[in-house]
Amino acid sequence: MATIYEAIDGRLRDVILAQKVFFVATAPSTVDGHVNLSPKGMTGSFVVLDPLRVAYLDYTGSGAETIAHLRENGRIVLMFCAFEGPPTIIRLHGRGRSVLPEDPGFDALMAAFASPPYHHGLRSVIEVEVTRVSDSCGWAVPQMTYEADRDILRLSHERKSDEDLVEYWANRNKVSIDGLPALR
């Protein structure tokens, strides 16, 4: 049975920030649309802004489902599983938005990241207003040891010019797999 919390307290914050990977789920409003679940990671790419607000760096990827779903309905859940230490699962349900580099508030959000992994290839910052905080046992989550962050995404982005990224976004990140608008 999950325990519900009023907000992200110090203990929950510590558990969340200790995780090297987290998962983001969103869905379109239509019943026949595709639910999206994405793993996220990279040291320094997630922050707790306050007890009911979090953000993470959204780098260029093969799709833009999260951005499209957030533009359509704002629903999002983030899940953190402790693969090391005490078995814990934390879920943050909320309303999210994608803040693009040209949007008001982007620079202020970026300032919250003490040491972002890198900037080139960054599409947006996903900001989440948390409406439900819960934890549950992670007794069935395996214990795994963190080895290192992968550098493949960063290296891929470094091979692309700014113009290459803009073209990629226009061709591959403009709409979701269900045809919802993603990047402008």
| 81 within some domain | yes
Domain count, the chain: 1
| 140 within some domain | yes
CATH of residue 107? 2.30.110.10
**pLDDT-derived band at 118, boundaries 50, 70, 90:** confident
pLDDT above 90 covers a percentage of the chain that reads 95
Decide: 68 and 181 in contact? Cβ < 8 Å. Answer: yes
**Phi then psi for 58, rounded to 5 degrees?**
-110, 105
179 phi-psi bin (left φ>0, alpha ψ -120 to 50, beta other): left
pLDDT at position 184: 79
CB atoms within 10 A of CB 97: 19
Inform me whether the pLDDT recorded for 143 exceeds 80: yes
**Phi then psi for 78, rounded to 5 degrees?**
-115, 135
Question: Which range of residues forms the domain containing residue 114?
Answer: 3-172
| 182 within some domain | no
